[in-house]
Amino acid sequence: VGEISEALERAKADGSERPPRRRRGEHASAAEARRAAGQTEELAPPAPDAAAAAVPGATPLRAVESALIDGDHPRAELCRHLAHRVLSEMERRQAHSVAVVSPLRGEGKSTIACNLAIALASLSRGGEVALVDLDLRRPTIASKLGLSARVGVEAVLQGRAPLADARVGIEDPSFDVYPSVEAQRSAHELIVLPRFATLIGELKKRYATVVVDTPPVLLVPDANLILRHVECCIPLARAGVTRVRTYRNMVDLLPRARILGGLLNGSRAPSHARDYYYYYGEKREGDAS
């Protein structure tokens, strides 16, 4: 908490950390968004033997939002570095599931959950990683990954469909996504059902690493209810957006033993990051130094 708080204070003091203001309808360039997207700090084993073969006929990864990592971009190395740290810590704890949490909305939970799953998948053999959209109130994973899913996790929790029907296989890198489709106003009621525990238990058995997207900790009880079943969490803050006090309030609500480590989304890349260009040829226009 101390480190994140200091980083947030630094970001606040440094106006350049703040995302540029945009007029309505004006979008960040892909290079600009990616530059910021990879700039995360913190946070595990090459996964155990849960490797199922990549599923034939899987959907090629088509990330729609520009803040999602592009596999051959230098920033993707930062995400893979983060993924490796997450994997190592989860292996040490013998854990198979991790939730990305933050105090409020728009701080990058879903973006980081997608980037983490993509990076984990690129470090694993096919079929080891699952990404689950448990922001049942405002699901965004399917749209971020350009998936048109018909059956969502909510249908499984309501007993309307088997888990297998909600799985969307992604290739390159290979991982499985369990999107939510229909927004659920009373999501907490689904999370407290025995079926929810069964669903998470099934996923933990089937995959080496299950990455979970969640709604804001301070706005609804869902994330904490989810953390009764998900073994680890990564609390994140967004540079220039999340207030220190708000971040602390969230951490106070989280089960301490489940925290893997804090993450600052959108912080400045470490100075050694410019050396990635050594491996990627000449510097591209718009890329950070």
Only segment of 29-37, 149-157, 223-231, 274-282 that touches ligand ATP (CB under 6 A)? 29-37
Residue nearer to Mg ion on the CB measure, 99 or 264 = 99
Residue 103, contacted partner among ligand ATP, Mg ion, none, CB below 5-8 A by kind: none
Smallest gap from Cβ 226 to ligand ATP, in A, equals: 14
Residue 152, contacted partner among ligand ATP, Mg ion, none, CB below 5-8 A by kind: none
| Residue 102 sits in the site that holds Mg ion (CB under 5 A) | no
Smallest gap from Cβ 115 to Mg ion, in A, equals: 13
Residue nearer to ligand ATP on the CB measure, 140 or 180 = 140
C-beta atoms surrounding 14 within 10 Å? 12
Tally the residues of the chain.
Answer: 289
For the record, the structure tokens of 94 come out as 């013998």
Residue 266, contacted partner among ligand ATP, Mg ion, none, CB below 5-8 A by kind: ligand ATP
**Cα Dmax for the chain:** 54
Identify residues 134-153 at the interface with Mg ion (CB under 5 A): 135, 140
Amino acid residing at 137:
R
| Residue 138 sits in the site that holds ligand ATP (CB under 6 A) | yes
Among 58, 65, 158, 171, binds ligand ATP (CB under 6 A): 65
| Residue 105 sits in the site that holds ligand ATP (CB under 6 A) | yes
| Residue 110 sits in the site that holds Mg ion (CB under 5 A) | yes
Identify residues 186-215 at the interface with ligand ATP (CB under 6 A): 215
Residues touching ligand ATP, count (CB under 6 A):
20
Q: Draw the binding track, 19-58, toward Mg ion (x: CB under 5 A; -: no contact).
A: ----------------------------------------
CA dihedral 5, 258, 123, 121 (to 10 degrees): -100
Only segment of 31-39, 169-177, 198-206, 225-233 that touches ligand ATP (CB under 6 A)? 31-39
Residue nearer to Mg ion on the CB measure, 110 or 267 = 110
Residue 33, contacted partner among Mg ion, ligand ATP, none, CB below 5-8 A by kind: ligand ATP
For the record, the structure tokens of 172 come out as 């390159």
Smallest gap from Cβ 74 to Mg ion, in A, equals: 26
Using left for φ > 0, alpha for ψ between -120 and 50, and beta otherwise, residue 106 falls in left
Q: Tell me which residues touch ligand ATP (CB under 6 A).
A: 33, 36-37, 65, 67, 102, 105-111, 135, 138, 140, 215-216, 265-266
Q: Tell me which residues touch Mg ion (CB under 5 A).
A: 109-110, 135, 140
